Every structure is written in structure tokens, then in C-alpha cells.
Structure 1
Amino acid sequence: MEVLVMITTESSKTNALRMAKLLIQNKLAACVSIKQIFSIYEWDNDIEETKEFEITIKSKPEFKDDLIDFLNKISTYNVPQIIYKKYYSEMKYYDWINKTI
């Protein structure tokens, strides 16, 4: 059984927590994990180094487009990182996701 795992980032813990709670409240995610990371990337011809918060969203594959729209609306970034993949899940976890959202 397939589940959707989508990853995005936010610039602060406050923004990440806000996003996670909205995803759960709007029934777009069954679970959201947040961890602090350190990112190095190019932006406007400069190399940036910054602390960020990685947000891992566990959801249903059929919610992919709704999640992308939602994240583009609420992200504080001009170009939010939105990457995703479908994974096979153990049946109990799959059932839990489907009962939760």
C-alpha cells in the first residue's frame, strides 16, 4: 500500500510548527515531522548558509496536488522546496493514515 512523503522547509521553528498544525487541522497530513537542518545553496548569485527546519509530511498519494497548492500558499519562501515520493508502507501504518485523514 502506498503513502506519500513530501518534504519542504521553513526558515524558523515558529513557521514550521504553524505549517505542521495547519496541515493536520486541514486533514492534508496524518503526521508531520520537523527537524532542524543546516543548508547551503545558491540564491541571487550568492552562496547562502542558513539554519532551516525540514518538514516531512506523511499523507495519501491522492492529496499530492492539494498539498503542493497549500504549501505554495503558506510557505514563507519565494521558491519553496517541495519534493515528494510515494513509498510502500506496512499495512498497519497505511490503515492508520487512511483512518486519520
Structure 2
Amino acid sequence: MQTEFLLVITTCPSEEQAKTLAHALVSNKLAACVQISQGVTSVYEWQGSLCEEQEFTLQIKCLAQHYDAIELTLSKLHSYDVPELIAIPITQGLPAYFDWIKETTQP
């Protein structure tokens, strides 16, 4: 059974880019809400080097049916070669909140 709602997570190198992505997703009705965290420290390996960078995390609340369009939008607008993009199924929550997600993501 496929879940109707997703929490999609990505990170950006700047607050400016995070806001650009969030506005694109919400204004195109692909997401009901995008929360942008304050800077977090990410430690990772990239191209053989150990990296430590400040990033901004985006939590994107959306319908599962919009995932492909979200992935395409982020792939076009994101500055990373390989952006983090993780979708987590939401299996439970406040029904009124789910109704709001549906209402705000209709064309």
C-alpha cells in the first residue's frame, strides 16, 4: 500500500537557496509547507575527502503523487551535484492537517 503523504528532506548550502527552493515548491503547489532549519553542521565524505559544512535542512510536507515533480524541481534548482533527497512516508497524523495538505496542493 502506498502512502498518500510524504515528508521529503533535503539540505542546502545557504539560507538564500533554501528559501528559493521552498518558495518554488509551495508556489507551484508541490508542497503544502516547507520548514527551513537554522544552520546545521554536516560531516560527510565527498570525492575522497572528509568534509564539514554548515547547511540548512528543508522539511517538505507533500502528497506522494508530487514526489517526481519535487525531485525534478530540486534537481534543476539545487546547486549540489548530488543533493540529499529523502522521502519518508507519513502513516499517521492529524486528519485536519492532512486535509490542509490536500487543499493547498491542488492546482
Distance, in Å, in 2 between the alignment partners of 1:41 and 1:10 is: 14
- SS of match in other structure, 2:96: helix
Q: CA-atom RMSD, angstroms?
A: 1.1
Give the unaligned 5+ runs of structure 2.
Answer: none
Cα distance per residue 1:65-93 (max 9 Å; x no partner): 11111111111100010000111232100
Q: 1:92 aligns with which of 89, 92, 96?
A: 96
Asked if 1:43 corresponds to 2:46, the answer is yes
Q: 1:19 aligns with which of 5, 17, 21?
A: 21
Larger fraction in strand = 1
Return the letter of the residue paired with 2:24.
L
Counting matched residue pairs gives 101
Give the unaligned 5+ runs of structure 1.
Answer: none
| Post-superposition offset of 1:3 | 1.4
Aligned twin of 2:60 = 57
Distance, in Å, in 1 between the alignment partners of 2:76 and 2:70 is: 10
Aligned twin of 1:78 = 81
| Post-superposition offset of 1:2 | 3.7
Per the normalisation by structure 2, the TM-score is: 0.90
Structure 1 outlier segments of 4+, above 3 Å: none
